[in-house]
Structure 1
Amino acid sequence: MFCFCIQRPILGNYKKKSFLGFPNVGNFRTQSFSKFKRSVLPNLNKISMKNELINEEIIWELDFFSRPVVDENGKKLWEIIIVDQKGNFEHIETVPNNLVNSKELKKRIKILLDKSDKKPKVIKFFRSQMFNMINIALSDLDLIVRPSRRTFSLYNKISEREEKIYPNMKGYRPFMRESDFNASLKKVPQKMPDALRGEKYIFASLSSDELSSINSSDIAFSGFCPLPAEFDKNQQIPGIVIYSERAKSLSGWLDGVELCNVFCDLENKNLILECGLDIQFLFAKFSETKNSKNSNFEPKFFEKNKKKSQGIHFVAVQSYSKQNEIAGIWTLKSSSL
């Protein structure tokens, strides 16, 4: 059966208490997360040259949208904001309201590409309402265009400008600010493909120091969002660890669909994976227990700790093999927290 490991909500060492079952999946014994940390984290020095090359690809994150500022004619300010995934590059320019179209966007991005010493292989964008314009603009620029909400450096830059730049500009309209970048993208969850479901999972945590020590080239599939500068090394980051006999296949699929957020729908007792621009997958359902109303019930505790970590959390996929190999790990961020 698909099992949900109930553990004490204590950071660090965990004690396994019981399992809550889900039908029609094989019965396996899972590890405590302390064992996951002992067996997996020290082994992250197995570097694949192929993965190293993949992770060295330059990825730009693009936003082309109006800002909470209007000019003297009441027209919205439009900006192109581009950052790279690692925070080493940024480009911001305004675009006149009457030039907001795919042709103009393409022209400006092409100029930027021609000037860049290090050109990107991939450009990501998260706004579904701008899909057609951006897709047309980038269609023949020899780039991989990837719709994705896994644009965490871009979210940080937009939030920074909404806090520090736009309020100081003439024509600032605070009511036009976005409180949640993806508020309009919520969908009815789809069923996970049966072949890609894990056998068990546990709620867990790692310190920011442990997460920062993981090299993205050490793992077949991975992705890391920037951690806030104010985090100390002991800041706990909540997450889930998925155990699967098809760990590599599951990790490859999660990476390919641009996994961007995990949250517990406490009302409907669902564990949801958010992917791409607007996709939600129902990963698992919580079973009813006598602890469900307790504030330390694991799904509630997970959401509570996400707020403490400014929305940052992680997902790891581990195999059932004796080597305890980790096949994928991602740090993610809930844009609404």
Structure 2
Amino acid sequence: MGTVWELDFYSRPVLDDNQKKLWEVLLCEGLVGTGADAERLFRYSKFLPSSEVNSISLKGAIEEAIAEATSQGIAPPSRIRYFRYQMQNMILRACEEAGIPARPSRRTVALQRWLRDRNQTVYPQMEGYNSAPSPSVAAPPPNPQPLPDALLGQKWAFVTLEAAAFADLPEWEIDFGESFPLDMANLNPDTPIPGLLIFSPRASALSAWMSGLELAYWRIEASKNPAIVLETGAADSWILAGLPNAGLLAEAQAFESAKAKANQVHFIGIQASPESDSFAGFWLLQELPLG
């Protein structure tokens, strides 16, 4: 997958001398694996006046961050994730001009953690701080799409694993997937982590297809046609399985409750059959409030 960085470029709750909001570029390494120290990830920040909000300034900041990282012996990004739906045109242009692929994603775990910290400890201490809420960053609600017929799972099951079970995740046999350091979620070792296992004779094809998406989280759609929905990218969603009866819906909603108790941490795994010892795909996920 290469080195993934996460990017934000947006106004902050701080007014400059002209009573205009300051803007800020944030770039950081993404969380990968289970042993990374989230506090030691490379981080870059730069404030800009509203008059410099353009792709040229953003490209310059990206190149400056890469130069700073390189001087510290840190690999430059092979791609960049961003979550601001409203800023995508500017971000895509700046990244393209800097020669780095960029993809919209709600899987920006390291960045969201950093933003929460800055909103609590950095911006309130700055002169010109204004606590007025920022506008929503959410993309328009998507209509879930059905999976391609060739990728439908034959069976699926809700499962749980205690948080402690993920300590040896790096040793699991997994073909496609992604994880993050579970200890950053502040969970007790015995906390049940809910998950969804999909079984399919085309497990490898399904996992390869999912690896081309930016998996964010899965949720329960309790509407007229209840279903398990996978959220990806900035605004895409896919129907993984229907919940055609009240019993299945109740079981699914119980797993939503378990997800809430686990700080929204959960997982999705793909196997050829329930007897498999390996995973064609495995993703550790967390449903995040986007800052």
TM over 0.5: yes
Taking the aligned partners of 1:163 and 1:310, their CA distance within structure 2 comes to: 19
Kept in 2, the 8 Å contact 1:68–1:177? The answer is yes
In the other structure, the counterpart of 2:94 is 137
- Is structure 2 residue 132 aligned with structure 1 residue 187? no
In the other structure, the counterpart of 1:106 is 59
Shift of 1:130: 1.0
In the other structure, the counterpart of 1:319 is 272
Taking the aligned partners of 1:290 and 1:280, their CA distance within structure 2 comes to: 24
Taking the aligned partners of 2:105 and 2:93, their CA distance within structure 1 comes to: 16
Taking the aligned partners of 2:13 and 2:261, their CA distance within structure 1 comes to: 28
Shift of 1:243: 0.7
Equivalent residue in structure 2 for 1:262, among 197, 213, 218: 218
- Is structure 2 residue 82 aligned with structure 1 residue 125? yes
Kept in 2, the 8 Å contact 1:220–1:328? The answer is yes
Shift of 1:110: 1.1
Structure 2: stretches of 5+ with no match in the other structure: 32-37
Taking the aligned partners of 1:157 and 1:250, their CA distance within structure 2 comes to: 33
Taking the aligned partners of 1:302 and 1:105, their CA distance within structure 2 comes to: 41
In the other structure, the counterpart of 2:111 is 154
Deviations 1:62-115 (A, max 9, x none): 111112222243211211111111332111111111101000111121122223
Taking the aligned partners of 1:277 and 1:216, their CA distance within structure 2 comes to: 31
Kept in 2, the 8 Å contact 1:153–1:226? The answer is no
Taking the aligned partners of 1:308 and 1:109, their CA distance within structure 2 comes to: 37
In the other structure, the counterpart of 1:27 is none
Shift of 1:145: 1.9
Amino acid at match of 1:154: L
Q: 1:203 to 1:323 in 2, by over 3 A?
A: closer
In the other structure, the counterpart of 1:298 is 251
Taking the aligned partners of 1:107 and 1:291, their CA distance within structure 2 comes to: 52
Q: 1:72 to 1:85 in 2, by over 3 A?
A: same
Task: Work out which of the two has the higher radius of gyration on C-alpha atoms and give 1 or 2.
Answer: 1
Q: CA RMSD in A?
A: 2.2
Equivalent residue in structure 2 for 1:84, among 15, 26, 29: 29
In the other structure, the counterpart of 1:245 is 201
Taking the aligned partners of 1:181 and 1:318, their CA distance within structure 2 comes to: 35
In the other structure, the counterpart of 1:274 is 231
TM-score under structure 2 length normalisation: 0.87
Kept in 1, the 8 Å contact 2:28–2:110? The answer is yes
Kept in 1, the 8 Å contact 2:173–2:279? The answer is no
Q: 1:146 to 1:290 in 2, by over 3 A?
A: closer
In the other structure, the counterpart of 1:21 is none
Q: 1:135 to 1:262 in 2, by over 3 A?
A: same
Structure 1: stretches of 5+ with no match in the other structure: 1-53
Shift of 1:174: 2.9
Secondary structure of the residue that 1:284 maps to in structure 2? strand
Taking only the aligned residue pairs, the percentage that are identical comes to: 33
Amino acid at match of 1:94: F
Q: 1:59 to 1:171 in 2, by over 3 A?
A: same
TM-score under structure 1 length normalisation: 0.76
- Is structure 2 residue 4 aligned with structure 1 residue 59? yes
Q: 1:175 to 1:304 in 2, by over 3 A?
A: farther
In the other structure, the counterpart of 2:243 is 286
Shift of 1:321: 8.0
Deviations 1:143-182 (A, max 9, x none): 222222211111111122122222333333333247x753
In the other structure, the counterpart of 1:36 is none
Taking the aligned partners of 1:231 and 1:174, their CA distance within structure 2 comes to: 30
Taking the aligned partners of 1:217 and 1:77, their CA distance within structure 2 comes to: 45
Shift of 1:134: 0.9
Taking the aligned partners of 1:196 and 1:216, their CA distance within structure 2 comes to: 27
Q: 1:64 to 1:219 in 2, by over 3 A?
A: same
Q: 1:159 to 1:304 in 2, by over 3 A?
A: same
In the other structure, the counterpart of 2:163 is 208
Amino acid at match of 1:91: Y
Equivalent residue in structure 2 for 1:329, among 248, 260, 282: 282
Secondary structure of the residue that 2:282 maps to in structure 1? strand
Pairs aligned (count): 276
